[in-house]
Structure 1
């Protein structure tokens, strides 16, 4: 290990930087710059030469790429390149390992900053809002300000002072009075107690706001500046209230300010933000009079007892802090035999026992001490759970108790205002209560006991997730290995509806669990959880899925689990493919293939061959794709895997379809359909029906084709398979176009496109756009066709899907020809013919005829 106090020979006053102290991406960059100084401040050219030494030709980096690693203000880092730069500056293996760990921690934080939930409305109002009349009046006056200028109100104050209460209460008044037309709300997590939930990236908030305002996922710009501009444009000429709750600082807030006439923004923060708002409301604790009024109103009917001034003593001991008073009121309501004097005396006793820093801790401590020991233990263990909320089954696993016992204790904790109950029997913390409970857990529970509790929780979630996924996909080619029985009660996931309901409700918590286990030393659970969720998440196209599988890859590598490493790489390759990242997908799949062959896992090898073949197919490398599928078919048949055999046959049939061999395609699809139905593989059946319908449509068997295409869509929708729906809607659009039903065809292609953009399924967009363009041309709307095909061409080039690029060029040619622009049409036709001939696709002859017919008009 390098000596932390050592200095490089050329720079005796520069210490070797410790990456573990970085804490953020900017911190990493700062320490990288320090390392450069430590190493004698070599030029970027010199570093580039060292980095490139021994690299293959296809992976060489340029000087500007190296220099970019040292630039502050980044949101993402190329981990591999940063490590290469570190090794070039100081090649000690132990030191590079420390950088790898620091990058892993910071990378997890960067991903977490993009996880945010925006709301088009206001959360439920909790009881307890009183007074603040002057602040409410001033906010309402700002909203009614003549001239329609944008107004920003900053509500600032300490934790628990009621900032959010004030913003939400006033927001509801403004909405009821019609002063605002719509509301956007977001918790910016400026001071979340969980280090796994850092302040939200404003770019992620804008993404959510734009979707709430009706912008499709595909239309959302990439840069922060462009997103802010689009957001402000959409809010123009509207009366919108934006509530930015729990802000960390001004840089997080500024891009989210509408700055459009008629808008009102309420920002809450524990810090002074320096925004120069139209209205600044530094919120103090209640006055003694307000605090007393709150307690009296909330405890009506509770006798005062011997001391008529007991209410004043209670307010004083709680520091007049609204949150502390609210929590104490909950305690008072749950002790019906006590008078207010009893409660005031108890607070005095607690104050003498120990000097407390705040009314919050005083109220929490009082509520906590009043709980039975098993309730206190449950509260502590709940706070350790990585997820945002929890149900009674998971609580039972944490404590090792029965479900009914856990449910009763959860209800009691809600009555004590230490938990909040949400819909569908789920429970969550106020962030300050969670912080308090975590501290208590660290103080009062042995590390071994905390570890055992979390192990029970992870085992429970792993077992239920595995069962639920198996119910949804009973005939999966690669079934999930059954988790060992936990002995704890589990929710009913015995039907597809119940299984999907549980997975959908728990998805954020399960993803948080993967992040937690990867970050906090549970790598084996990271691999198993990600593997169990793979099939359920396979048809989602979000970056959260890619992140989960990346964490599993790192965890498997860390534990030396070669089989788990291979599975995680295969899952990661599939997730990258769904996002259209074909080069990255191939890299991961090839690594997985090598590991599967190393371990002799024939089933895994066949799985990856199918994945590689699908990517080759998307890139129109049909011979290579067919070779991969044929080899996978042989392996599946050797293993007797009929479901895998059906998948390989269907993929070979897809290649036949693309190359115009529709008779062969129909035969193979028919064989695959029999195997899917015999094995109960509904997912495979849906895809095979769609492919068979397309082959029949091209063979002129229109009635049969329509029936099979409709069955495909019905199955996909029943399964909740969104990417399958994309293809099914698009296929039905082609079917209706063939029958001359142009309005129906356009509607179906538009449905396909809308789902693509909603779920981020980029590779489906060019296909749907081309379908819309061909329908518009057939309906004699060449101008509309031109727009759709132009968009398809741009996307196809970006994704590298040459078949859709050729299809778009042919469509542009038809549209130009219909518009009387024969010269331009001929250029598009020539580009399409060249692409189709390179791909050896039969469309080359058809488009060649159109080129010939357009040639005379172009001279």
Structure 2
């Protein structure tokens, strides 16, 4: 290679360093950069404090705004992230990710190491200091401790807002510094080297004016340096602050340090201190006054019949284990927020978990029922709860200061450096809980609430644990535990009915189980019958008192809702489907989507509605029953009828929008009076298919609801809108059931046109289900009705479907005859897309009879018609390319056949026609196999099997046999 051809060396990336131990700072190639406006600096501080950990957008929003974020919060973060990237790398192209601030997974992280971030450098020096100490290299260890502390230039992230700095992400870093300083002081004092650590201790004591452990080390270091008067002055000033600000006396550790200064005795060796701590750990906990205090053990009794919840229990135990493995300097308090609907077993799980891990918290357990959803509205205030905790920790009522802030500070001081378990049961919201959180990293906090405590997750790093209803297996096991295996096993069907009608809700199961225990001779079958008779009502779940009465328990949650949200909840109970989206919720409420979202979010937070993937929501059956009782009480019959009407219009409009995307040439129109197509409906073929798959069962329920509401005309017209979607997506048994409902509705309405369309739909569905005899019967009935009505397009549709049916029953000549008649009728009606579809069908039948040249001619004529249509031909265009490929295959033009099949697959996939896409893939595999491309053939067959397995398992099995045979042969 010539010298001139040598590639230039890539430009050296800039050297970038970050600092967060003090003010937030950035350097590039030795030059300090301005980190931008305050909020941008706060974002950088958060990412640096994360020290390379990825931070999701919800976490960042919670940290920066603390639950009061603007609507534009996500965009603000992204804009600041882009600004930071360009600040660090000025030549970075717009929208590029950059080298240091890395995006991905819905968030950001800073890519740093111990050389580029002072926090990681501090931790690395601390780790090396401990290694040197453990190896007996005391001088080296002290130097490393001092070097680590020297990296701190002030409080972590100094200069950013106090609200952001108050987050545990930052306070825990300040605690790391304290831990290292205390360890350094212990080592230095024991070996007579107090001087090197004195400056760090003095700086930290100025910042942490009430931290007694730190001040005790400062006193001893001053004394060891010959400055006894200053050491005693530290004691006296701190004692005065404790009395004035907290109303308490100095703790034992501070008093002991004072005595050592007065006596000039050296501090105990670290090993002696540890031995003493271990000896004391088996003794009652010492109160701050020095007197003995029994450990609180307030947990309620462990639930005797606890079953299931293995995943939730394992999740908590893993968190605890991970926390115990974390180095002391970076350990954090573990907070678990257990949420779920009323009666789902939150308290039972929390108490079970607490008993499982209680032995890990040697200093005791605190428990309080916060009465967040008390029927009388008497939720406990945080001040009441803290006063109760303090009294149980040995503080007399006279010593408890006034004011919530002072009480919370005293409470945290008592729990400092202790391992305690705190169970806050039945919390109303985060504001009730926040003052009750300890400040000690060694504590575990379990919280239960019917509301989502999202601000605790965002601002305090709580682990959310959303509790669902029990599994069927766990529900059955709970019945076995209470009623005995013999009684449950003797009536398996009744047991399953009870579990199903209780919705697998633990409280409902408990009510029914208690009734069974009180009536040991009553068969479970009789109880199941009672539940079936009361289905849709909560009468069967009345408990002995309000705490076990389902109606009362649900009422506690319902009464916390705002008026608008309570109304939406009541109307949602009228929705006939298992799940719903925000658009159908808005239709029921007669609201805009924008006004509906906050109410829906309130219901989700209250666990009255469950949020599922894909923007779907679900209402538990028993909550639905409660909502229907509530709407009967609060809303008029006209209100309910209007809600049903709005929902029906919404589904008709959206179905029409989806149909226009899937089949642009389809002639079906929206029924009169429904209104224009939905503006918020699906906007692409993929979205239309996805919408139909999500709403399929709901649409069937809406059709049936229309029949119940005495709207048979609307019912059969909505069913007709769905024909083309079912044909593409599958679920033909459901399609047949829907058309039976439509047939009954049309007959009830006395509309022959509706009867004809229902018979035609049944004929097509039965054809695909291979029920050929009944399919022909329905199609012939439809044909007669369309002829009587003079509906040429309806006649042609039936004839074309009969042609398809003839090929399935080996009557190919008759298939061609029916198809030619259909083509003539379509021409007379001027229906271009149907003419093209019929020419395609004719071409297929011609190829099946061996007239492949004629088939090519008919297929080309079909394609020319599709080209003439401005709206395109929907999936029919792809089907014609498939037919052309089929003809070329049988003419021996294999290369041309492959190209045509590949084009057909692309068009059918784009049109959302999964069934015919699978057919093209199967036939493409046949052609590739004949051409010798066996592996490519098998790949296409596998794709076809994957599509067809849920749609047409019989056809999928046929292709799988072919695939298995070729694999065996190879």
TM-score normalised by the chain length of structure 1: 0.50
Secondary structure at 1:468's aligned position in 2? helix
Paired residues of 1:653 and 1:664 also in contact (CA < 8 A): yes
Residue aligning to 1:634: 824
Paired residues of 2:752 and 2:785 also in contact (CA < 8 A): yes
Structure 2: how far apart are the matches of 1:401 and 1:501? 24
1:727 counterpart (919, 929, 932): 919
Residue aligning to 1:613: 803
Structure 1: how far apart are the matches of 2:864 and 2:347? 61
Residue aligning to 1:661: 851
Question: Could you say if the C-alpha distance between residues 138 and 765 of structure 1 is closer, same or farther in structure 2, counting changes exceeding 3 Å?
Answer: closer
Secondary structure at 2:617's aligned position in 1? strand
TM-superposed CA distance for 1:612, in Å, is 0.7
Structure 2: how far apart are the matches of 1:537 and 1:689? 22
Paired residues of 2:342 and 2:554 also in contact (CA < 8 A): no
Q: Does 1:698 align with 2:887?
A: no
Residue aligning to 1:452: 642
- Per-residue CA deviations over 1:467-497 (Å, capped at 9, x if unaligned) read 1111222123x43446645489752423223
Residue aligning to 1:505: 694
TM-superposed CA distance for 1:513, in Å, is 1.6
TM-superposed CA distance for 1:366, in Å, is 4.2
Q: Does 1:531 align with 2:723?
A: no
Structure 1: how far apart are the matches of 2:673 and 2:694? 23
Q: Does 1:570 align with 2:760?
A: yes
Residue aligning to 2:376: none
Paired residues of 2:475 and 2:499 also in contact (CA < 8 A): no
Paired residues of 1:602 and 1:635 also in contact (CA < 8 A): yes
Matches within 5 A, 1:187-336: 243-244=472-473
Structure 2: how far apart are the matches of 1:665 and 1:169? 74
- Per-residue CA deviations over 1:739-760 (Å, capped at 9, x if unaligned) read 1223333443344345333312
Paired residues of 1:730 and 1:771 also in contact (CA < 8 A): no
Structure 2: how far apart are the matches of 1:248 and 1:139? 12
Matches within 5 A, 1:324-723: 358-476=548-666, 478-481=667-670, 484=673, 486=675, 490-519=679-708, 521-539=710-728, 540-679=730-869, 680-723=872-915
Paired residues of 2:756 and 2:786 also in contact (CA < 8 A): yes
Paired residues of 1:626 and 1:655 also in contact (CA < 8 A): yes
Structure 1: how far apart are the matches of 2:929 and 2:736? 37
Paired residues of 1:393 and 1:490 also in contact (CA < 8 A): no
Matches within 5 A, 1:162-177: 162=344
TM-superposed CA distance for 1:714, in Å, is 1.6
- Per-residue CA deviations over 1:504-526 (Å, capped at 9, x if unaligned) read 33223222222333445332232
Structure 1: how far apart are the matches of 2:510 and 2:770? 49
Paired residues of 2:863 and 2:880 also in contact (CA < 8 A): yes
Structure 2: how far apart are the matches of 1:654 and 1:614? 10
Structure 2: how far apart are the matches of 1:563 and 1:618? 27
Question: Could you say if the C-alpha distance between residues 245 and 530 of structure 1 is closer, same or farther in structure 2, counting changes exceeding 3 Å?
Answer: farther
Structure 1: how far apart are the matches of 2:820 and 2:907? 27
- Per-residue CA deviations over 1:609-647 (Å, capped at 9, x if unaligned) read 001110001111011111100100111111111111111
TM-superposed CA distance for 1:585, in Å, is 0.8
Structure 1: how far apart are the matches of 2:694 and 2:916? 22
Paired residues of 2:816 and 2:842 also in contact (CA < 8 A): yes
Structure 2: how far apart are the matches of 1:272 and 1:385? 23
Secondary structure at 2:907's aligned position in 1? helix
TM-superposed CA distance for 1:418, in Å, is 2.7
| Unmatched segments (≥5 aa) in structure 2 | 1-298, 314-340, 357-469, 481-491, 501-507, 515-544
- Per-residue CA deviations over 1:534-556 (Å, capped at 9, x if unaligned) read 11111314311111111111111
| Unmatched segments (≥5 aa) in structure 1 | 1-128, 144-158, 175-240, 252-264, 274-280, 288-354, 785-859
Q: Which has the larger radius of gyration?
A: 2
Question: Could you say if the C-alpha distance between residues 547 and 272 of structure 1 is closer, same or farther in structure 2, counting changes exceeding 3 Å?
Answer: closer
- Per-residue CA deviations over 1:638-690 (Å, capped at 9, x if unaligned) read 11111111111111111111111111111111111111232211311111111
Structure 2: how far apart are the matches of 1:168 and 1:550? 50
- Per-residue CA deviations over 1:185-224 (Å, capped at 9, x if unaligned) read xxxxxxxxxxxxxxxxxxxxxxxxxxxxxxxxxxxxxxxx
Structure 1: how far apart are the matches of 2:842 and 2:350? 58
Structure 1: how far apart are the matches of 2:943 and 2:808? 21
Structure 1: how far apart are the matches of 2:786 and 2:350? 55
Structure 1: how far apart are the matches of 2:622 and 2:757? 40
TM-superposed CA distance for 1:583, in Å, is 0.8
Structure 1: how far apart are the matches of 2:664 and 2:733? 26
- Per-residue CA deviations over 1:248-288 (Å, capped at 9, x if unaligned) read 9999xxxxxxxxxxxxx9x9979599xxxxxxx9958999x
Structure 2: how far apart are the matches of 1:511 and 1:620? 34
1:738 counterpart (930, 933, 955): 930
Structure 2: how far apart are the matches of 1:557 and 1:286? 47
- Per-residue CA deviations over 1:40-94 (Å, capped at 9, x if unaligned) read xxxxxxxxxxxxxxxxxxxxxxxxxxxxxxxxxxxxxxxxxxxxxxxxxxxxxxx
TM-superposed CA distance for 1:165, in Å, is 9.4
Secondary structure at 1:758's aligned position in 2? coil
Matches within 5 A, 1:40-189: 134-136=304-306, 162=344
Structure 2: how far apart are the matches of 1:367 and 1:598? 59
TM-superposed CA distance for 1:568, in Å, is 1.4
